[in-house]
Amino acid sequence: MTKVYSYCILFCMLCLSMATAGSAHAQTAVTLYIQENLDVNGSPIPPDQNLMELINYFERTTNLQFNKMIVPWRRAQYETLQGNGIIYGLSRNPDRLSRFHYSQAVASQTIWAITYGKPKPKYKTIEDLRGKVISVGRGFSHGMEFEQARDIIFKVEEDASFTTARFNKLINKTNDLILWPLRVLKDQSEVETYINQVFANYSGFKDTHFDVSDQPLFYDTEHFASAKGKFEDIIAKIDKAIVEGKKSGELSKLLRAYR
């Protein structure tokens, strides 16, 4: 009887140990809001595969399971502030810092000016933008310096992030320049070639050439973020994965493919 009882105890302990181990490895599910992508006509397109590889890296290294919600950028920020999940790709500005809890920087961006017409404007400093009308994607910020100058040195016009309407406004002189963020390309000639290739196959811009500023006008960083007081343990796991990924080189490799 004693021996049977001992076996029962051992069996129960084994089951408890297996259950504990299983729960330790169970993934934590969290909703992740991602900006929707639009083509030149303003229609939604599948998310960038390189972005998905980047997101997969964080799932693997944090033991998190992201329920990906691809929505307009303003809605992504609203849902995050409601505590419904976290967001990826958010840049910092004074207003957001008071409302969002940020991860460490995942990626850095250079922000270029796209212009049309001759002579090509010489935009090198923020002061060169005084009195200009600048087109940015709806709900977008381009960092602290941009926000400090917004509606003081220049006027900002928000449009859908990637539509022909923005470029038609540029051609028709309704706005003076478009700001365009890039992660990998750092050389002006490469950026200009890339921008014109994007529109080369679109009939409305077949013989149109857009110019790119000689140097970036702003610099920015991209982060995961949650509402203040929400999912901060999740952000801490992501921070650890950022540090480890940069140390191993795996994160840098993924970012090189993600424009």
What is the per-residue pLDDT for 165? 80
What is the per-residue pLDDT for 203? 60
| Residue spans per domain, the chain | 28-107+221-256, 109-219
Task: Please check whether the two domains, 28-107+221-256 and 109-219, share a CATH topology.
Answer: yes
Cβ neighbours of 53 (radius 10 Å): 13
Q: What is the pLDDT of residues 55-77, one digit of tens each?
A: 999 999 999 999 999 999 999 99
Is the confidence at residue 150, as pLDDT, over 90?
A: yes
Is the confidence at residue 18, as pLDDT, over 70?
A: no
164 or 107: which leads in pLDDT = 107
- Return the H-helix or E-strand segment holding 73: helix 73-81
Question: 51 near 16, Cβ under 8 Å?
Answer: no
CB-hemisphere CA count at 13 Å for 238? 28
Over range 106-130, report the average pLDDT: 93
* CATH code reported for the domain at 109-219: 3.40.190.10
23 or 242: which leads in pLDDT = 242
CATH 3.40.190.10: does it fit domain 28-107+221-256?
A: yes
